[in-house]
Structure 1
Amino acid sequence: MVDQPDKPRVLIFSLRNIFGRALNRGPHYEFEDIIREIDSAELVAPKVDPASRRASLATRLAYHAPVALNPGIPKIAAKGPYDLLFTICGFPQDLLMFNAVEHLRDVCKTSVCLLDELWAKDIHKHRHFLPILAKFDVVLQYHSSSVKPLSELIGPRCRYFPPGVDASLFCPYPDPPARVVDVYSMGRRPAAVHQKLLGMARDAGLFYVHDTISGSQAIEPREHRAQVASIAKRSRYFLVNPGKFDSPEETGHQVEFGYRYFEGAASGAIMLGERPNNAVFPGLFDWPDAVIEVPQQSGEIDRVISELDRDPGRQDRIRRTGMEQALMRHDWVYRWETVLEAAGLRPLPGLAARKHRLATLAGLVSGHRPIGPSEFNHERRLSAR
């Protein structure tokens, strides 16, 4: 790790010891860990007594009245001072956790909250949670269409913030393995596409990896992320679709997108599915064939795969372009750079060191810098000193 200041300048308030094994929280902890790698940060991760009913009681009450009870967060001694307080909330209900340690804000010059999931139609439902966001200087949102209505509620402190990925974890280089998995699908999948792929697996020997257990928790989040990355970079094709595409009653027909697209690009798998009809998506995935369109009700994914399989040159271009774009634009390091800009802070050397490692990998992917794995590992060790 590159030398950082002795005294932490960033305080991360993490929910990893409260919602630790939830699958949808894994990327949150991944982002937090990379911040700790590239910046001078201290992580505070309180625990809630699992036998206590205070958390569920506080949440239920807040849905009905403007009362923010402590859900069971113990008192935390804030050392301070810090330049920046940063926290990631998966859902508006999580804000009760931060509210219980509001004194942390007092020892930080600037505060930033990243809110993962908030559908515009649910803003009224969460109206008693959301005013807590007004205590932050900057509120970042993954859901682009929710920025304006939330700003109307809490003031002009909200901005869109795209998801990211640990691009070096998902990248197959410097020693790319064989792509032995034909199609990889995790989480929600269109029924028609899934049935067609099952038929191809049965009748044509397609190696189709998909979820067969319904559950929302990982045994160990970091191990789960590593396994997802390991499978993705061994996959030829990767299914993607907009967030909760099969539950319009939950989204109010709002179209948003999550980590899956970034993971697919970073792994070099060819993404098959739907390009989200969303204002910001074209600017983030603006290269040819970023996503090969396969409508949710389509029964022709076999034809799409067959057509791509007949064109190795096109496949290679799609894979390399996706990996390069992820390494040079969509790694968490670039997202943290955006947070620092919003907070008026300069990056530390660790950020530049990670960007250099990503650029080295991108050079390997493009073939412009054909260095071997041993040389790459040597360079990585040097940057970690």
Structure 2
Amino acid sequence: MENSKVAVLSLRDYPFVGWVAIDEFEDLLARVSGCQILAPSRRPNLPKLFERIRNRTIGKFAPIGHFSQSRELLIVVARSPADLQIVHSISNVRKSFRNIAAFVIDSYFIDAFNHDTKLFDHVFTTTEEGADAVRQRFGVASSVLRQGFDCLNWACVDEVRSIDLVGFGRQPPGYHHAFQDAFHRVGSPVLYLHSPIGTISGDAVRKERPMLIKLLQRSKVSLAFHLGVQPQNSRPISADFVTSRWFESLAAGCIVAGKKPPGSMAKEMFPWPDATIELPDDPVEAAEVIVAVTSNSNSLNGQRMRNVVEMCSRHDWRYRIREIYEHFNVPLPPPLISELEQLNTCIKRLRASDS
């Protein structure tokens, strides 16, 4: 294996549209650090009893080998707390790494943290409740590390946008049907583009990801609703959680309209004025708001610039990577330093153009 001081352990061998934003974090981390992304494979499915015994004895994931030389840091990227078990796929992991860290994305599933948590020196979580659970239940150091986005490469303030309203992924049925009724007719000037667009799983998810971001860059308004709005099936229980849709939409220059998560997480992450537009509870009235917003170009352009500057200043993935490195006193790799400088230059340029 390569000679980077850092390695990343991931479940990226199972591409899914809901996790492609986290795959981008891993890709960026690997590129700026020169490290390798290790992805263990799941063992074949067995009848439940045999599978339970197998998982307890030799583990759910096949081993991926060991490191001939000790490394400084292993970063385990876990979609949910249960995914922390992939750390067992590295033989003699404690002898191979001086420090073992985790970055848990859906960390609001606090009941899913188990004894595997104790194997880590530090657990970064996206939520306060996740960090509190790790510290209080397992005595393991933990802190909040929010999600981010590749703002340096995808930030866009272009004013010419041919799509009025875009809705990717899950949309509350009441709003979606009202928007279809209002906008999918010959007399409406509003173009409403919505899912299904693209592939849900498989390698095509990553290939199509740039297409989806480019569609955001060509859209005036992007819909985003917190997870508690008209939940469907077994949706996640945390209405306060800020998903990747908010980050990518704002950075791509969309005005975000919908229902912002009600808790402190969204307030902390998007504290600037008019960061988002809160739609009425009545979907029909919400459609009327969309018409008014998409027709006001001057207001859209001004808020777009503000949103993109704030996103580049606060929520680029490079800031999160720097925080991980600095926590473990690992020197920042030159490519990361260079791209942080490029990001700072980008922010200065955007502010100058807005003055």
TM-score interval, smaller chain: 0.7 to 0.9
Of 13, 18, 24 in structure 2, the residue corresponding to residue 24 of structure 1 is 18
Tell me the residue number matched to 1:220.
Answer: 204
CA contact (8 A) 2:8 2:35 kept: yes
CA contact (8 A) 2:40 2:86 kept: no
- Does residue 67 of the first structure (1) align with residue 56 of the second (2)? yes
- Corresponding residue SS for 2:184: helix
Structure 1 segment 329-348 matched on structure 2, within 5 A: 329-348=314-333
Of 172, 189, 207 in structure 1, the residue corresponding to residue 171 of structure 2 is 189
Superposed CA deviations along residues 269-305 of structure 1, whole A, max 9, x for unmatched, are 0000112111132121111111100145532223322
User: Is there any run of 5+ residues in structure 1 with no aligned partner, and where?
Assistant: 1-5, 371-385
Tell me the residue number matched to 1:14.
Answer: 10
- Does residue 237 of the first structure (1) align with residue 221 of the second (2)? yes
User: Is there any run of 5+ residues in structure 2 with no aligned partner, and where?
Assistant: none
Distance in 1 of aligned mates of 2:96 and 2:285: 57
CA contact (8 A) 2:108 2:238 kept: no
Structure 1 segment 286-305 matched on structure 2, within 5 A: 286-295=271-280, 297-305=282-290
Q: State the TM-score, normalizing by the size of structure 2.
A: 0.88
Q: State the TM-score, normalizing by the size of structure 1.
A: 0.81
Of 91, 114, 136 in structure 1, the residue corresponding to residue 120 of structure 2 is 136
- Write out the 4+ residue segments of structure 1 that deviate beyond 6 Å after TM superposition: none
Instruction: Report the alpha carbon displacement of residue 75 of structure 1 after superposing the two structures with TM.
Output: 4.1
Between 190-199 and 268-277, the greater mean CA deviation after superposition: 190-199
Of 319, 322, 335 in structure 1, the residue corresponding to residue 307 of structure 2 is 322
Instruction: Report the alpha carbon displacement of residue 37 of structure 1 after superposing the two structures with TM.
Output: 2.1
User: In structure 2, what residue type is equivalent to 1:199?
Assistant: D
Tell me the residue number matched to 2:89.
Answer: 100
Tell me the residue number matched to 2:45.
Answer: 53
Distance in 2 of aligned mates of 1:91 and 1:58: 24
- Corresponding residue SS for 2:56: coil
Distance in 2 of aligned mates of 1:178 and 1:188: 27
Distance in 2 of aligned mates of 1:131 and 1:206: 52
Give percent identity, aligned residues only.
Answer: 19
Distance in 2 of aligned mates of 1:213 and 1:269: 18
Structure 1 segment 216-295 matched on structure 2, within 5 A: 216-243=200-227, 245-247=229-231, 250-252=235-237, 254-295=239-280
Superposed CA deviations along residues 87-125 of structure 1, whole A, max 9, x for unmatched, are 1111233233222325233211111111111435x60xx
Superposed CA deviations along residues 106-151 of structure 1, whole A, max 9, x for unmatched, are 211111111111435x60xx36xx2101111111112333332343
CA contact (8 A) 1:218 1:224 kept: no
- Corresponding residue SS for 2:284: coil
Superposed CA deviations along residues 57-113 of structure 1, whole A, max 9, x for unmatched, are 599739xx9936422413413133211100111123323322232523321111111
Distance 1:298 1:60, change over 3 A: farther
Distance 1:12 1:309, change over 3 A: closer
Tell me the residue number matched to 1:355.
Answer: 340
Instruction: Report the alpha carbon displacement of residue 310 of structure 1 after superposing the two structures with TM.
Output: 4.9
Tell me the residue number matched to 1:39.
Answer: 33
User: In structure 2, what residue type is equivalent to 1:299?
Assistant: V
Distance 1:250 1:210, change over 3 A: closer
User: In structure 2, what residue type is equivalent to 1:61?
Assistant: R
